[in-house]
Amino acid sequence: MSEQTKIVLLSLLLVSLLLSSLINFYESAQTKQNILNFNHTSNTLHTQNSLIHQQINKEIQEEDYSVFYQLINILIAFFSFFMLLGFLIVFFKTFRDKNKILQLQEENEQKNRELLEHLQLLNEYKKALDESSIVSKTDLNGIITYVNEKFCSVSGYSSVELIGKSHNIIRHEDVPKEVFKELWETIKNKEIFHAIIKNKKKNGDFYYVDSTVMPILNTNAEIIEYFAVRHDVTALIKAKEDALGAEKTKSAFLATMSHELRTPLNAVIGFSQILLSRTDFPQEAMASYIHKINISGKHLLNIVNNVLDFSKIESQKLDINKEKISLDTLVDEALLLVETDVKSKKIEMKIENFGTISIFADKQLLKQVFVNILSNAIKFTPQNKKIAIAYKEQEQYQVISICDEGVGLSSEQIKTIFQAFAQVREHQNEAIKGTGLGLAISNKIIELHQGKIVVESAIDHGSCFNIYLPKSKD
């Protein structure tokens, strides 16, 4: 029962009590009236009685009205008091309820604000996660139920192609089955699986991901789905592999350099000691020893120059001094430097007539490029074979081609042939040695000319080095 109802009932009870008092009052007045109505037979007594009756009746009537009005006033006062009391109680209760409602509304608004802030924060977290990570969800059987945009951009698949498919769609055949067996055993035991895994793109390429896979549990601690967060670490893995490869080739380079430097030095020292040990050498024998010392010295100088040039290029201290030069003259000067090797292997040189063709380049550096490529061609070309030098023009480039009939290169070798130290490798012909810096230096020099070297080759079908130089704007 509400407080308002209690107040109304109490008011009615008081009104009932007051009405009961009025009824008793009228009953008493009626009794008095009955007494006055008693008749006497005597006239004298009748007259006296009449006068007395009038007087008493008047007094009773006055008393009746006085008491009646007092009771009415009391009733009105009580009724007004309790109505006012009820109104005040209802008012204060309403005021209190209103304050309570306002307080509840304020608390709800505060909770809504906090909830909105949490939702905004969660959206920021999701946005950051989506931008930096590959995210996916699967059901209990490994069927994909959700992928983010990063997953699609890295794998090459659209979300339509992925959702509803098994996660094996990106599985690479190089990954052992034991890895996936361990994955399932771990997450089914409600534990988190972590590993770096090789995945396969839609186009067949591979990529590495740092994977974290975890089970999602409901309130009953039952697995309802699996959640995976991955980071593309392909560049990191490749950088590590390149670093290991560079370290390996660098070690091979140092080993080869020690051999390359030791060989001519030993020749210089050995032949010079022979000459110093005797003074009666025949002129012909002495000339032969001196010639060998000279060749060894030049070879040693060439090695040192290659290392110094490479160091300058790497430190960006190699200056380019471009000028207009005759291609015919440049080729002739380069051929003079390799003439001895050409004759010793009986290689036929097929040189195009360049006429008045000129190019805009650094003469000494471009001559070094020609010598490096020609020396490389002579090394890998068998005796009695041909080396050709040709020229052609394209819209933006002047192209000089040096082609041989040597052992050729594989597609994998072509990819790494201009990398530093990459040429230091075992070759089909173990007798062929060198620092391997010649082509790396040549490529850098042409790049400094805003040009490029394009290699066309196949195993046992020779190689063709095409040097592209930008046309002069003059």
Q: Which residue has the tokens 């560049």?
A: 235
Binned at pLDDT 50, 70 and 90, residue 24 comes out as low
Please give the structure tokens belonging to residue 301. 């100088």
Distance CA 197, CA 182 (A): 13
Specify the CATH number of the domain 133-232.
Answer: 3.30.450.20
Write phi, then psi, for 299 (nearest 5 degrees): -65, -40
Distance CA 114, CA 107 (A): 10
Instruction: Write the pLDDT tens digit of every residue in 86-131.
Output: 677 767 777 777 778 888 888 888 888 888 888 887 777 667 777 7
CATH superfamily of 319-470: Histidine kinase-like ATPase, C-terminal domain (3.30.565.10)
Exposure string of 59-79, with b = 16+ CB inside 10 Å and e = fewer, is eeeeebeeeeeeeeeebeeee
Query: Domain 238-313 belongs to what topology?
Result: Helix Hairpins (1.10.287)
Binned at pLDDT 50, 70 and 90, residue 283 comes out as confident
Q: Which residue has the tokens 């209990």?
A: 140
Distance CA 162, CA 170 (A): 9
Taking alpha carbons only, the member of 283, 309, 418, 409 closest to residue 368 is 309
Question: SS3 for 135?
Answer: strand
Please give the structure tokens belonging to residue 472. 């002069």
- Helix 283-314 vs helix 234-277: angle between axes, to the nearest 10 degrees? 160
Instruction: Write the pLDDT tens digit of every residue in 305-344.
Output: 777 777 777 777 778 899 999 999 999 999 988 888 899 8
* pLDDT over 60 (residue 257): yes
Q: What is the pLDDT of residue 136?
A: 93
Between the CA of residue 451 and those of 5, 47, 187, 324, 422, what are the distances in Å?
A: 101, 157, 55, 16, 21
Write phi, then psi, for 424 (nearest 5 degrees): -80, 95
Nearest-5° Cα angle at 149, 145 to 150: 105
Instruction: Report DSSP state, residue 471.
Output: P
Write phi, then psi, for 156 (nearest 5 degrees): 90, -5
Mean pLDDT of 172-189: 93
Mean pLDDT of 409-431: 67
Please give the structure tokens belonging to residue 259. 């051999």
Instruction: Report DSSP state, residue 211.
Output: E
Residues facing 452 on adjacent strands? 468
Q: What is the pLDDT of residue 82?
A: 66
What global pTM score does this model have? 0.48
Mean pLDDT of 347-361: 92
Kindly report the number of other CB atoms within 10 A of residue 286's CB atom.
15
CA atoms within 13 A on the CB side of 391: 16
Q: What is the pLDDT of residue 389?
A: 96
* pLDDT over 60 (residue 4): no
Q: Which is it for the CA torsion 404, 405, 409, 411, positive or negative?
A: positive
Instruction: Write the pLDDT tens digit of every residue in 235-248.
Output: 999 888 888 877 77
